[in-house]
Amino acid sequence: MWKSVLAATAAVAITGSSILYAQQSGPGADGLRHWRPSAEDVSAFTDARVAALKAGLKLTADQEKNWPAFEQAYRDMAKFRAERMRERFERRDHARTENQSQPAGNQAAATQPTENINPIERMQRAAANMTARGAALKKLADAAGPLYQSLDDGQKQRFLVLSRPMGPRHHEHFAFWRMHRGEGPEQH
């Protein structure tokens, strides 16, 4: 039993450290920018986390009934996060493109991201993102509730360890990861 949990945890740790290494390696001699996970990469990582969690829980036949709703909500949350990440990349790329198109004398003024120019639009976008994130998180919590309640104490402990990437600490990890790369605090 613990071999499965250990193997699943190791797989998640290796995946996470691989991403971190790829991000820290920076531009290579060929001038490539930082690696960004593709939609296929995000899907593969989500599949790995779902498989690790299910393998580690060793669900009984009765508990299996609650799994599909939880898995779908988990995948929806992962998709939501991936979409937000893609949007942030696109906004940052747009700001960089605008900065590069400015004459040399105007580039200092253009270094301020365009999203900081209008604080009202920024607050409205943040509110919309928080509402959408709240709805996705509520769906995940509602789907996870019946599954979690059906677990025994050992399974609950494994759930806490293996599902960590979907919780608030995961969000903090990515905020730290982005700050480490010099991208600034999380933009909601």
pLDDT along the chain (188 residues), means of 10: 61 57 48 71 90 95 96 92 86 79 57 64 91 93 95 94 65 45 48
Largest CA distance in the chain: 68
Residues 166-185 pLDDT 10s:
655 444 444 444 444 555 44
Q: Which two tokens stand for residue 168?
A: 């608030």
CA angle 7, 8, 12 (to 5 degrees): 115
- Dihedral (Cα; 128, 129, 135, 137), 10-degree rounding: -160
In terms of residues, how long is the chain?
188
Q: Which two tokens stand for residue 12?
A: 């998640």
pTM of the complete model beyond 0.85: no
pLDDT at position 118, please?
A: 85
pLDDT at position 182, please?
A: 54
pLDDT at position 186, please?
A: 46
Query: Distance of alpha carbon 128 from its chain centroid, rounded?
Result: 18
User: How far from 86 is each of 7, 17, 65, 109, CA to CA, in Å?
Assistant: 30, 21, 33, 26
Asked if 56 contacts 5 with a C-beta cutoff of 8 angstroms, the reply is yes
Which residues are CB-contacts of 104 (< 8 A; sequence separation ≥ 6)? none
Buried b (16+ CB within 10 A) or exposed e, 48-72: ebbebbbbbbebeeebeebbebbbe
pLDDT at position 36, please?
A: 78
pLDDT at position 123, please?
A: 92
Query: Distance of alpha carbon 116 from its chain centroid, rounded?
Result: 24
How many beta carbons lie within 10 A of that of residue 166, not counting itself? 20
Q: Which two tokens stand for residue 132?
A: 């959408």
User: How far from 81 is each of 3, 59, 77, CA to CA, in Å?
Assistant: 30, 27, 6
pLDDT at position 172, please?
A: 44
